[in-house]
Chains A and B, each alone.
Chain A
Amino acid sequence: MNNLDGLLTRLIAAAREPATPQPAPSAPPWFARSVVNRWLAESAGAPARSWLSVSRSALACATLIMLVSLAFNFRVVWRRDPPEQIASDSVVSLFLPK
Chain B
Amino acid sequence: MGNETVDAGALLERTRQRDPAAAEALVEFLHPAVMAVIHRRLPRGTDPQDLAQDVFLKIFANLDGFRGSATSLEAWARRIAFRTCLNQLRRQRSRPELRWADLPEEQVEMLESVVLVSHEPDPGQQASARELLGALLAQLPPKERTLLELLELEQRSLDEVQQLTGWSRINIRVRLHRARRKLRRALARLLKDHEQP
The smallest beta-carbon distance between B83 and chain A, in angstroms, is: 18
Interface check B126, CB cutoff 8 A: yes
Assess whether B57 is in contact with A11, with CB atoms less than 8 Å apart: no
Assess whether B28 is in contact with A32, with CB atoms less than 8 Å apart: yes
What is the interface of chain B mostly: helix, strand, loop, or mixed? helix
Of the listed stretches B29-37, B88-96, B97-105, B166-174, chain A binds B29-37
Interface band, chain B: 35 or more
What is the interface of chain A mostly: helix, strand, loop, or mixed? helix
Q: How far is the CA of A27 from the CA of B33 in the complex (A)?
A: 11
Assess whether B153 is in contact with A15, with CB atoms less than 8 Å apart: yes
Interface check B195, CB cutoff 8 A: no
Interface check A62, CB cutoff 8 A: no
The smallest beta-carbon distance between A41 and chain B, in angstroms, is: 11
Assess whether B49 is in contact with A14, with CB atoms less than 8 Å apart: no
Chain B residue contacts of A28, Cβ below 8 A = 49
Given contacts A16-B155, A24-B35, A31-B31, contact A8 B125 (CB under 8 A): no
| Closest residue on chain B to residue A12 by CB atoms | B152
Assess whether A17 is in contact with B130, with CB atoms less than 8 Å apart: yes
Interface check A45, CB cutoff 8 A: no
| Closest residue on chain A to residue B126 by CB atoms | A14
The smallest beta-carbon distance between A1 and chain B, in angstroms, is: 8
The smallest beta-carbon distance between A26 and chain B, in angstroms, is: 7
Assess whether A34 is in contact with B53, with CB atoms less than 8 Å apart: yes
User: A residues touching B (Cβ–Cβ < 8 Å)?
Assistant: 1, 4-5, 7-8, 10-12, 14-17, 19, 22-28, 31-36, 38-40, 42-43
